[in-house]
Structure 1
């Protein structure tokens, strides 16, 4: 049911939407400028100091009302206070992640990253925004600029949230969404809705949603095998941790066979760290990887099966093993009530109404921590020259004559900048509709 004050807030909606659209057009040049600067100057997880400084500088120029910074490292929460009367007890949080990846960019763009930095194990690595977080930051900055320009008609508060370390903190460090919560980032300014969209290889301008699990649950695993070092010419004097690790890596590929087939699950071991030399049987080997699934019970089963495999292969080689599961991230669940409440806004604000339900992904995003805590939705947004092919079965493919299709984390990942303007518009329409009561999972009849 609408309240009288909320119903009165509906009267000026068409005018507000027109002001949003005009302000989004005006912000397009800044959007591109911000995105290219951030793209050219990426920083790894928990190392986003210069990124944070740049964002704070832009937020001050935009004229937000308050800035909290240094949250869980380099996190930022800026507040835009609406000045309309009456004020409703709602607060929207628009979230962007900040960190980049140790991936060498291969887009050929004139503003491509040429940055190198010290990686997690101390070596120099190339760094790039191969997951598109530069796009997310630029979009949310532009949304902040738009919302500041219309705050005289906003009946609530908008938070713009820049979260570090979404890709996961380095080993033995903490960071990310949960760390921001623990640091009190939202104390006294708790949002009533969290919203964001992750750029993806979907066709340009498509909004992909799913009611239920959209992104997987995740855990990082580090398995360290320790043995006895010896000369390579006398391996019988050694207890070889590399052999134990090799057996474990092979066994890990079959761990998902212990999981019911109706429950998607993956185990990927992506890095082996060895201290040794070609003519030395080393003393220690660590295998790093990630577990993905769609519910916490399956995650617990994966952990148990991996632990058994590690213990077995360590024992077989006379080694010891230490299995550590780190940085657990819950699945991103979009509740049906939030999706139903948001769909009218998404269809109205998305050019040509390109809003479609999509399958779940085994990728993770720790914005799930915020969504679970406060409510809201997190979606996919298409930024590439792709199309849906239907024969012999539905699949995504590169569109003829386009720039190709490159998944997130690929060296060739790219985003169409003109399409990012549409993302700004959607963020702002969602913000206004939530603040005025039109988009609220607890009151889906509002605006009906």
Structure 2
């Protein structure tokens, strides 16, 4: 087929996306005002189920409770021409422990009193509210056009992308495992696709060719001393000096690995068992290790373990390190990028489509793309513009400028949502109707 053969279907997609746009905005506002942290997305799950049922998707084609609060649904295409395929469209559903300061009328005021380590304020400071709303909008569009589509759309609403609490399983890895056990990959999807909203011009689409997002893992460092009353510290072993040395010496690892290797070590959370008048026995340090090449991670891990063990011993303590939640990099294979660029340009219209460098941010959508092949698109959602010299300028008197994800001030212009609905739907139709193909089975070897 050619673009001309599908032009009528594209027009129907765009018209349907325009019709559903206000619903998508209202869905987004509801989800935004009612955020839930990773592995606690119970009400978000219920909201998704209600919307899918309203859209008219057969109840037998909707399954909930996957990987905790994940939802999976099929839209069955009715066009039997050619060789039917399945495309997987994914959106993440969880929020962050951030106190929102966006100024939106629909800003979150929620707090989770019971979350491990909390209480925490909660906000959709990474845009997952928009991801859910856009995929629901695309579901409504595609369901309405299902009789003209050859193949199936597998909708995946995934919890815990930001990472489950310590000691809990969750996220894409568990979602893939449980979906596989329940037969969702028989036959396997021939493409996985997702969208992440971010600080770029409304309607723009950015992408990296090859590695787009870093590999990541969680690190837990434990330093154990000997508890004692604060009035007699010499009778115990204080783990705090060892913790201080561990934190200050992590920077030395950057001097021991080739500067061309892009990686980061972030230690961002400390839990102490002590008190203002007690020298505690144990301190736990939590963080992440990220890298654009998986080869260097083992070397980094060995160095972290060596520093922790030796520094702890020098202070009379014991030290140990645990690595978990290993997430592969997001890799947009060049063949997939070449195949999808015409779709990007059609959807973006007069908005920019721009290749960008890789990001050190991680996203566990990589679990789906590594297994089935596909692409992760970055959709712009802010009131800014790129200048010819590569700078960013505000657009409009009310613009809040460029604000990164995870910031308390993070915002998304609702005008971006219709672009996301159209992008999901155009990609699905192009792939299922034979316009978007790549001769690669996955990206695991690319990393």
The answer to whether the superposition gives a TM-score over 0.5 is yes
- Contact conserved, 1:102 with 1:119, CA < 8 A, in 2? no
Look up the match of 1:441: 438
SS in structure 2 at match of 1:266: strand
Alignment of 1:88 with 2:88, yes or no, is no
Alignment of 1:117 with 2:139, yes or no, is no
Look up the match of 2:37: 44
How do residues 287-436 of structure 1 correspond to structure 2 at under 5 angstroms? 287-389=285-387, 394-396=390-392, 398-399=394-395, 401=397, 402-436=399-433
For residues 10 and 198 of structure 1, the distance between their equivalents in structure 2, rounded to whole angstroms, comes to 26
- Contact conserved, 2:63 with 2:71, CA < 8 A, in 1? yes
Runs of 5+ consecutive residues of structure 1 not aligned to the other structure: 1-6, 444-448
Alignment of 1:181 with 2:169, yes or no, is no
Q: CA deviation at 1:442?
A: 2.4
SS in structure 2 at match of 1:73: coil
Q: CA deviation at 1:187?
A: 3.3
Distance 1:236 1:397, change over 3 A: farther
Moved more, 202-211 or 9-18: 9-18
Q: CA deviation at 1:201?
A: 0.5
Look up the match of 1:100: 95
* 1:45-66 Cα distance to aligned partner (Å, 9 max, x none): 0111111011011001111241
Q: CA deviation at 1:399?
A: 4.8
- Contact conserved, 2:64 with 2:70, CA < 8 A, in 1? yes
State the TM-score, normalizing by the size of structure 2.
0.94
- Contact conserved, 2:203 with 2:351, CA < 8 A, in 1? no
Alignment of 1:142 with 2:137, yes or no, is yes
SS in structure 2 at match of 1:277: coil
- Contact conserved, 1:311 with 1:321, CA < 8 A, in 2? yes
Alignment of 1:28 with 2:21, yes or no, is yes
How do residues 254-269 of structure 1 correspond to structure 2 at under 5 angstroms? 254-269=252-267
**2:196 aligned to which of 187, 195, 198:** 198
Q: CA deviation at 1:322?
A: 2.2
Look up the match of 1:76: 71
Distance 1:397 1:365, change over 3 A: farther
For residues 262 and 113 of structure 2, the distance between their equivalents in structure 1, rounded to whole angstroms, comes to 35
For residues 100 and 370 of structure 2, the distance between their equivalents in structure 1, rounded to whole angstroms, comes to 33
For residues 10 and 404 of structure 1, the distance between their equivalents in structure 2, rounded to whole angstroms, comes to 36
* 1:234-283 Cα distance to aligned partner (Å, 9 max, x none): 22112111111111011112322222111111101111111221121111
SS in structure 2 at match of 1:417: coil
Q: CA deviation at 1:174?
A: 0.7
State the TM-score, normalizing by the size of structure 1.
0.94
For residues 313 and 393 of structure 2, the distance between their equivalents in structure 1, rounded to whole angstroms, comes to 46
Q: CA deviation at 1:173?
A: 0.8
Look up the match of 1:56: 49
For residues 397 and 234 of structure 1, the distance between their equivalents in structure 2, rounded to whole angstroms, comes to 59
- Contact conserved, 2:97 with 2:121, CA < 8 A, in 1? yes
For residues 189 and 394 of structure 2, the distance between their equivalents in structure 1, rounded to whole angstroms, comes to 39
Distance 1:275 1:162, change over 3 A: same
Runs of 5+ consecutive residues of structure 2 not aligned to the other structure: 441-447
For residues 38 and 99 of structure 1, the distance between their equivalents in structure 2, rounded to whole angstroms, comes to 10
For residues 89 and 147 of structure 1, the distance between their equivalents in structure 2, rounded to whole angstroms, comes to 16
SS in structure 2 at match of 1:287: strand
Q: CA deviation at 1:353?
A: 4.7
SS in structure 2 at match of 1:167: coil
Across the aligned residues of Structure 1 and Structure 2, the Cα RMSD in angstroms comes to 1.6
* 1:136-192 Cα distance to aligned partner (Å, 9 max, x none): 000000000000010010001011110011001111111111101111353325211
- Contact conserved, 2:218 with 2:289, CA < 8 A, in 1? yes
Distance 1:413 1:329, change over 3 A: same
- Contact conserved, 2:305 with 2:320, CA < 8 A, in 1? no
For residues 398 and 274 of structure 1, the distance between their equivalents in structure 2, rounded to whole angstroms, comes to 44
For residues 45 and 84 of structure 1, the distance between their equivalents in structure 2, rounded to whole angstroms, comes to 38
For residues 116 and 391 of structure 2, the distance between their equivalents in structure 1, rounded to whole angstroms, comes to 38
